[in-house]
Structure 1
């Protein structure tokens, strides 16, 4: 009880700061979070190599699996699981008025395939770095045109109103502008010192991405703190469909690659890309569409918490089954 008292008293001393930060917004976009998201996304976009797209036709199977799962399967299975659990299975355990927001947050997670962290998962499974980069590049380009329509469609199917202006603004802010900036930066670096200059530059700015992520998580916990402390069961309930989705999508992609005899250096990353989420984008859009204190923002934060341990377990599975795939 003493610990709870100290937490409560400490929490009451900080709401003023979080309130000020929450008020810094324009057109439903929180400016502080926007800067932090840019700090996370910009280094990822520098890694996008349009030149690598020329090699897509040489080994298409891994890319076909990635794109089919990311854009034709994953968003819809996540939406189905969200509706199943929050409109039916968990209906008696949650506030029914907040259920649509939790569903919306999970839809945003499911419709945002991973970008930068895929390179980490690929490295941990000894994946083909060049092929992984091709997959990331194609995904990012598709995301520019496909993310908003898919999200709008799924929100409409679940009877959640779609603020199109905010959704499109979020796509422009968090995908289009960082992608253009990343491509321009990459071109300038290559002109100056080739791929070595790109690698050196991204290594220097990568800490900014990590710091941006940490501060964003702290802020989101600050905005959502009372809910998280008061309702740990709710956090666990939100995590259930995310975990089921993660393991199910991995099994589908990994099994598909196995049946197609895709080499493990391509099979593991292509399965992990479909499993992981671009949670930076999901968090930003959830805040823009529904607000900092919304159930949608909370659901995306839970996605951040769940992703790392789940992905590490999947990396372990991929590494233990390496010998079952062709070299």
Structure 2
């Protein structure tokens, strides 16, 4: 690996990050603290906001996620979609990690920690409930937020869409039997309304809006017009992310303050799972010479979770106040800070990753 290659990669990563984005971890930390405080002192307001939902999908959060996803959808080149299958390595990584590895490692970590390391800290029945919640998270790969993580790492927008679309299609058929297998529950009821509504809100609608916007921009000024417009609205993604974090922590502020130990115990294996799955997929992508614009989203899809689906199924199977529901909620709280750290890792390691691609090894 040459020094020139490393410097160039670092410079490219730095140029891609705006001033506001460079301090994103600071804004998120402030949003977490503000969310917990606001949820504590103004519980009625956030209880009302959390109740604005359809099929377990919070409409306020849905609007914010839509605002985050829309800018990336403008970059989707529909003419390139038919060529997405020409580079199957990224899809292979995504599908193997999401469906053959992640659900089973999540279940294994749940058993290891709650029936092993933490056995003396929680009652056995509670431990089983927490494990069940973790399994539900592990079997529900991300649908919406991965577009945000992909955008923050300069991922290939078109290929990310293909990865998510195929993942969603498999989830329709594989989620229920996989959960039934790992939980030992025969009658898993998939909340189809939640699943379909989430895909519609987070994928279909912003995709159509992005396609319409892109067509208008290309007609008026070509690719340069697209780049200028997406550059201007890129802060919308960051602002939407920060406000989403604030709301999520405000919704659960009381739980965090009243059950801090349980929150920490559940968070530990979830964090280990996220970092481990990301590391496996990211190293696999680099070792397999997958371009980082495809490899990074492939790794981030496997790491992130479809928390709306996991929460909805946990509530329907075990009840609103169950340990399983609590575990899925902790998954929501843990995910954003962990994913932001991994996004930072991707951007910081871009030079290291791309130098392998530049070394003359065949792809």
- 1:297 match: 329
Cα separation, partners in 2 of 1:35 and 1:285, compared to 1, 3 Å: farther
2:109 counterpart (63, 69, 81): 81
Q: Residues 1-327 of structure 1: matches in 2 within 5 Å?
A: 13-94=41-122, 96-97=125-126, 99-101=128-130, 103-105=132-134, 107-108=136-137, 111-113=140-142, 114-121=146-153, 123=154, 132-156=156-180, 157-159=182-184, 162-164=188-190, 166=191, 168-194=192-218, 195-260=223-288, 262=289, 265=292, 269=296, 272-274=299-301, 276-277=303-304, 279=305, 281-282=306-307, 284-290=308-314, 294-295=325-326, 296-313=328-345, 315-317=347-349, 319-320=351-352, 322-325=354-357, 326-327=359-360
1:56-94 deviation per Cα after TM superposition (whole angstroms, max 9, x unaligned): 354433443333323433333234323433344334323
Measure the CA separation in 1 of the matches of 2:174 and 2:107: 11
Whole-Å separation in 2 of the counterparts to 1:101 and 1:225: 19
1:5 corresponding residue in structure 2: none
Q: Distance in 1 between matches of 2:294 and 2:63?
A: 35
Tell me the distance in 2 between the aligned counterparts of 1:102 and 1:209: 33
Deviation at 1:323, TM superposition (A): 3.9
CA contact (8 A) 1:243 1:306 kept: yes
C-alpha separation in 2, matches of 1:60 and 1:9: 46
Q: In structure 1, what is the Cα distance between the partners aligned to 2:352 and 2:177?
A: 39
How far 1:321 moved relative to its partner? 5.7
| Matches of 1:39 and 1:324, distance apart in 2 | 35
Deviation at 1:117, TM superposition (A): 0.8
Task: Give structure 2 stretches of 5+ with no counterpart.
Answer: 1-35
Structure 1 residue 142, shift from structure 2 partner = 1.3
Distance 2:245 2:351 in 1: 30
C-alpha deviation, 1:203, in angstroms: 4.1
Contact 1:249/1:275 (<8 A) preserved: yes
Name the count of aligned residue pairs. Answer: 307
TM-score (structure 2 length as normaliser):
0.68
CA RMSD of aligned residues (A): 3.6
